[in-house]
Amino acid sequence: MRRHRPLGTRFTMIVLALLAAVVAVPSLSAEEYRIEAIADAAPADELSAEIAALIDSSGVKVVKGASRTVCEIWLCKSWPVKDEFKATDAVAYPFSQGQLIGVVRYKNKGGDFRDQEIAKGVYTLRYAQQPVDGNHVGTSVTRDFLLLVNAEVDKSVKPIELLKLIEHSAAAAESKHPAMLALKMPKKGDAEKPSLVHDEDAELWLATLAGKSESGGKTAALPISVVVVGYANE
């Protein structure tokens, strides 16, 4: 005659087996996104010659899962910055409003920091500071942002006046609000190579990219940390 285990014993074994299975499964969130350096240049045929001349010949791409490219980013070869700038809790970067920072390409539709849909295509990245007007409380600790502008519209390397930049960027999002990626304060030691960090509390993925600043005839490392996946909880 077949002997049956007591019900309590069988239940305990099932629970232990389920727990073992959970422990054995690797964390998907830690592997879901990654960043890779790419030797490909930015798509010059979709940029003005003036802008293409300022963009670095190599960039990075953010990849989801096995092979889906979220976006590709190329920074300027260097950025002119404000002399004797000192970062604060609110403003982390020494850039000027409307300054060209780089180029981003979405091979598939993407999303910005406001969870707005961004159509596939090539966009310039322009620096802007979030207004202190009471309408953006809690959006981001820092006021530093990159606004996206359609590359076919943005032809000059000169800074774009803020109101016009907001208008062009809103058109890129087909919205009343600019298409934007949030900038965060990079951690010390993040200047040597690109890295991707998962902020689990805010459910954001931040890419730290190695850039260069120019001031007083000298160049220096200037890493930037940009939110490439995730959006603000307003």
C-alpha torsion sign, points 212, 140, 69, 148 = negative
3-state SS, residue 124: strand
Q: Which contiguous run of DSSP H or E holds residue 105?
A: strand 100-106
Q: Which residues, other chains included, contact 231 with Cβ-Cβ below 8 Å and sequence gap of 6+?
A: 111, 112, 113, 114, 115
pLDDT tops 80 at residue 199: yes
CA–CA dist 217, 233 (Å, integer): 41
Q: Is 22 left (phi over 0), alpha (psi -120 to 50) or beta?
A: alpha
Residues 215-224: tens digit of each pLDDT: 988 999 999 9
Residues 91-112: tens digit of each pLDDT: 999 999 999 999 999 999 999 9
Going from the C-alpha of 15 to that of each of 5, 20, 26, the distances in angstroms are: 15, 9, 19
Q: CB–CB of 156/48 below 8 Å?
A: yes
Listed by start position, the domains of the chain span: 28-229
Q: CB–CB of 206/196 below 8 Å?
A: yes
Look at 234 and 164; give whichever has higher pLDDT: 164
Q: CB–CB of 143/128 below 8 Å?
A: no
pLDDT band at 30 (very low <50, low <70, confident <90, very high): very low
- Would you state the structure tokens that stand for residue 115, as one six-digit string? 């969870």
Identify the pLDDT of residue 10: 52
Residues 38-94: tens digit of each pLDDT: 999 999 999 999 999 999 999 999 999 999 999 999 999 999 998 888 889 899 999
Identify the pLDDT of residue 14: 44
Look at 31 and 68; give whichever has higher pLDDT: 68
pLDDT band at 8 (very low <50, low <70, confident <90, very high): low
Strand 212-215 and strand 79-80: the pairing is parallel
Look at 135 and 75; give whichever has higher pLDDT: 75
